[in-house]
Amino acid sequence: MKSYSSASILLLLTTILTSCYANNLGLDFHHRFSDKVREWTDSRGLPPAWNPEDAPRGSVEYYQALLKHDLHRHRGRSLAAGDLYAFASGNETIEYLGNLHYAFVDIGTPNQTFLVALDTGSPLFWVPCNCKQCAPTSDPSYGKIEFSNYEPNTSTTSKAISCSSDQCFTTSRNQCPNKTADCTYIINYGSPNTSSSGTIVQDDLYLLKESITSDVVKIPILFGCGEVQTGDFLDGGAPNGLMGLGLSKISVPSIIANNSLISIIDSFSMCFGTDGYGRLNFGNEGSPDQNETSLNINPHGFYNISLTEIVVGNTTNKLPFDAIVDSGISYSGFIGTIYTKIATSFSAQVSERQINVKGSPFEYCFEISANQTKLELPPVSFKTQDGSTFHALHPAVGLFEQNSDKPFAYCLAILQYDMNIIGENFLVGQQIVFDREKQVLGWEPFNCSSNEHISPAAPPPSTPAPPPKAPAPSPPRRIPNSACARPVGLSTIISVVASIISLTFMRLPLCY
């Protein structure tokens, strides 16, 4: 079976976060294919592309699309106590155009609403503005939504930033033609010929305090007046702007943390639910019970951690390596040596026959027999340099045929990349804390819907049974175009006996 590598492709490290502000700023987000988003899109008469039945959940075409998305996004560039705040337009986000996550934000006086993509790997928040070359404000792919373009002259609170200002982090002083010249920016993204450029401006961002009083708060924020967009930004990706959540001084988390109106810790958390529901809080340091490891702060702005061991079931591989934690990548991926260690250890400890699913991006897939009612998967975890254990709660995905209530196969959902990336499928079911102030990454099992901690499952037996002999691969099987996947009652169809492990059917459209 073909293995996939990004040797010649820089993946676009983009987030699936949302953003807000204050002592603890809260915001919900939803996966594009969750039931809530399906209801949202149906209520707005959005086109079938939002819920693509031509690439249904669990089909080869679906996984191929996600792989293309992951490879495309890998970029080669640089509940705490307190009040909760969310964007004034609402605290839900969605994912659709370009496989990015989006949130509605309000800017200016009077306020204008924008549907912006959310990106932890990007240093800057920008919206289309004084457009010389921008995406169209309306398009069949947008459904019935018509976007806005920001016009500084129509906002009474808009302020231009000069390149001689201390607030101009994007232009060096020696590049200023004169003291009153505008502060300019240009950002090149990993996608081919994709960029945004324009000037830096300041205006008010509207936030809603999540309390009984529901106070609306306005904070001045720096962002890009995006006059010229190129590449993917003209072809459906982030057509109405992008909110940078990276490590730069001008990113949204940095500006919020340094705002003098409200004291906030420079830390934010992301919680990813198995149902596509998610939540992000700024100012959240997590709980005292969470696991933590040091962040390797680097000039490229990646959230990078050091790992020392790979543990798959009863197999431990002492193999130190660094990995980027990126919620914008659908499936985790590793360089050849790491990938092989995980995959072969996993394959050696499952009893199902390995099959070749033609067209699947996943190399290690295993057949589930028609009368099978139980599935035992070895848990996958990593030991960090600080001695904490990071559990990959959902390392496998299920493959279904249309109108079937049971998966016919499952795959180890990791890919082979030219760098090590812990992607969304290893983050689901947990709250991940990016504590930039303490420079640590935290994580713990979490119920995103109820905002509650989840007690970890009992550990597996200390002396597990010897792993079954790996079966020989069977002839290739192709999933029909009508294949899909749906949530499965694990208690009735699949029983997972290993601790903190389950077969997940995430990020996929439902069968109906």
> Which pLDDT belongs to residue 161?
95
Question: By C-alpha distance, which of 51, 56, 57 is closest to 38?
Answer: 51
Rounded-to-integer distance, Cα 261 and Cα 220, Å: 10
Cβ neighbours for 42, distance < 8 A, ≥ 6 positions apart:
none
Say how many Å lie between the first and final Cα of the chain, rounded.
Answer: 31
pLDDT < 70 regions, the chain = 1-101, 173, 190, 208-214, 261-262, 276-278, 328, 451-453, 455-512
Report whether 354 contacts 471 (CB < 8 A).
yes
Catalytic pick from 106, 266, 326, 435?
Answer: 326
The two three-digit tokens of residue 359, written as one number: 């067209």
Catalytic pick from 70, 83, 106, 119?
Answer: 119
Hey, what amino acid is at 255? I
The two three-digit tokens of residue 149, written as one number: 């373009």
Q: Is 182 a catalytic residue?
A: no
Sign of CA dihedral 237, 241, 247, 250: positive
**DSSP sequence for 112-126:** EEEEEEEETT-S--E
Q: Is 28 a catalytic residue?
A: no
239: DSSP letter: T
**DSSP sequence for 242-291:** EEE-SSSTTSHHHHHHT-SSS---SEEEEEE-TTSEEEEEET----TTSE
Segment (H or E) for 380: strand 380-384
Cβ neighbours for 363, distance < 8 A, ≥ 6 positions apart:
1, 2, 3, 343, 412, 416
> Which pLDDT belongs to residue 358?
79
Complete domains list, the chain, with CATH: 84-261 (2.40.70.10), 291-504 (2.40.70.10)
- Across 193-220, b (16+ Cβ under 10 Å) vs e yields ebbbbbbbbbbbbbbbbbeeeeeebbbe
Report whether 70 contacts 63 (CB < 8 A).
no
Rounded-to-integer distance, Cα 109 and Cα 410, Å: 52
Report pLDDT digits (tens) over 113-134: 888 887 777 789 999 999 999 9
> Which pLDDT belongs to residue 10?
21
Q: Measuring CA to CA, how many Å separate 340 from each of 11, 35, 345?
A: 21, 36, 8
Report helix, strand or coil for 340: helix
> Which pLDDT belongs to residue 23?
53
Report helix, strand or coil for 96: coil
Report pLDDT digits (tens) over 70-108: 554 444 333 334 454 445 554 444 444 544 567 778 899
**DSSP sequence for 408-441:** SEEEE-EEE-SS-EE-GGGTTTEEEEEETTTTEE
Rounded-to-integer distance, Cα 330 and Cα 194, Å: 21
Question: By C-alpha distance, which of 3, 2, 95, 11 is closest to 329?
Answer: 11
> Which pLDDT belongs to residue 468?
32
Strand partners, 207: 87, 217
